[in-house]
Copies of this chain bind each other. A is one copy, B any other.
Amino acid sequence: MRFFYLYTINLIHMKSRTISELLSQDIIIPEVEIKGWVRTFRANRFIALNDGSTINNIQCVVNFENFDEALLKRITTGAAICVKGELVESQGKGQKVEIQVNELTILGDSDPETYPIQPKKHSFEFLRDNAHLRTRTNTFSAVMRLRSALSFAIHKYFNENGFYYMHAPIITGSDAEGAGEMFQVTSLDTKNPPLNDAGNVDYSKDFFGKETNLTVSGQLEAETYAMSLGKVYTFGPTFRAENSNTSRHLAEFWMIEPEVAFMDLAGNMDLAEDFMKSVITYILENNREDLEFLDNRLQDEDKTKPQAERSDMTLIEKLTFVTDNNFKRVSYTEAIDILRNCKLNKKKKFKYLIDEWGTDLQSEHERYLVEKHFKCPVILFDYPANIKAFYMRLNDDGKTVRAMDILFPGIGEIVGGAQREERLDVLKQRMAAINIPEEDLWWYLDLRKYGTAVHSGFGLGFERLVMFATGMSNIRDVIPFPRTPQNAEF
């Protein structure tokens, strides 16, 4: 039996603390005060109290004979309460310590007839409609604590490795990257916009004196900072006005984009692998309880599925699959050979069959390479130029570019990056080929005019990372208030 002793230092005497702090105590504390929200109240005696600091509730034991019945009736799911009492070793199972309650105050009632978050399983669809309350459930509080931890791990990694954080602009004056449909940003009267002589909307009268949109990527601006500060990264919101109502698309999502001067594609792969391993190691070390909760949730869910649809790996196994394996580096050309000749392709089991070099890979192919063929995370590189962006460095073969994609189990592509085209003449040719006027990117071209150098970077969709790290299957469930077609509530 553990040794308990009385802790009487004044400093922590009656200070209000978090449940996370109390649950890590190994001592009896004569007087503690804690505030939180009631999860359940059973047998008129046991309150499971949560304050968001941890997935775990603290058990508060009420001797109902000492309290007014009217007060006890107000201890309902969702009510905010303050309890004072003694922190003691728990007699029951499931917790090390509990609070013997001496005083109890209702801070805010929660009408059990109308409170949406009942102590039962709610569908994720229902909880999306109540996104302002869904972090009061175990699943969503765990997901959002992990989202926060991953954010911090990202900043910590870059800070420790000499990178500077740069805020790329959100409102931009050009659709230069052509990465997809953009949202327009305007202050004009949309009902009666000013028109110019040609009868078009006169954007010179708009706030910025020109047509402006929400950014699709901060990469090009990050390159300007890499070519002066050396190693930089962005971490900010990006937008797509694509009308895609799927479990993998958001109109507003967060992206991480490091960019490094004097680094080639091999260095880029080293960086991306080290970075991904580092942030996942961080949550394995710092967020074990939340991960174990989500792991169990997924295993329970799996049991309800037919054998063929169940996961090969548990959540934590997937995370250690990333941290414990070397990422296999394979050229696109090799990958196509493997895929073309594999059984699934020959037996026509792929939805999209692979027959020739130059085709873009689908998630099913990426997952095959990772999960079945190599059995480790994979970095594909040297893609056909015509399926990649204009700013990627052209290889001497004239048909491939120094692009790379990182493929993960269960999810396929999670990181996309490239060595950038540093040669002014080649870059101009590639822009001309897809009709990007040089005037639109004069500042981007300047980087190649004045002190150009090899440089590289990559992009990571943050929500893809949170999905991978939490096992959530719908991207709307890993961002606080998802923006999707027909939905901008809250």
- Is A110 within 8 A of B241, CB to CB? no
Q: Does any Cβ of B come within 8 Å of A306's Cβ?
A: no
Minimum Cβ distance to chain B for residue A255 (Å):
12
Q: Is A208 close to B, CB under 8 A?
A: yes
In angstroms, how far is the closest chain B Cβ from the Cβ of A55?
11
Q: Which residues of A contact B (CB under 8 A)?
A: 16, 18, 20, 35-38, 51-53, 78-80, 82, 107-111, 114-117, 131-133, 135-136, 141, 144-145, 147-148, 151-152, 155, 159, 162, 164-173, 181, 183-188, 190-191, 193, 195, 200-201, 207-210, 212, 214, 221, 224-225, 228-231, 236-237, 239, 241, 243, 251-252, 254, 261-262, 422, 443-444, 446-454, 479-481, 483, 485-490
- State whether B225 touches A450 (Cβ < 8 A): no
Sample of 19 further A-B pairs with CB below 8 A, known A107-B454, A144-B229, A166-B480: A52-B229, A114-B449, A132-B224, A133-B224, A133-B446, A147-B167, A152-B165, A168-B480, A171-B239, A171-B483, A183-B207, A184-B190, A186-B186, A186-B190, A190-B190, A191-B193, A191-B195, A208-B251, A212-B488
Of A108, A110, A448, chain B has the most CB atoms within 10 Å of the CB of A108
Contact of A51 among B52, B230, B479 (CB under 8 A): B230
**Residues of chain B lying within 8 A (CB to CB) of residue A181:** 187
**A451 with B209: CB separation less than 8 A:** no
Decide if A450 touches B133 in the complex (CB within 8 Å). Answer: yes
A108 to chain B, nearest CB (A): 3
* Residue among A36, A144, A164, A186 with max Cβ neighbours from chain B (10 Å): A164
Q: Are B228 and A52 in contact (CB under 8 A)?
A: yes
Taking a contact as CB atoms under 8 Å apart, the answer to whether B252 and A162 are in contact is no
User: Is there an interface contact between B16 and A262, defined as CB atoms closer than 8 Å?
Assistant: yes
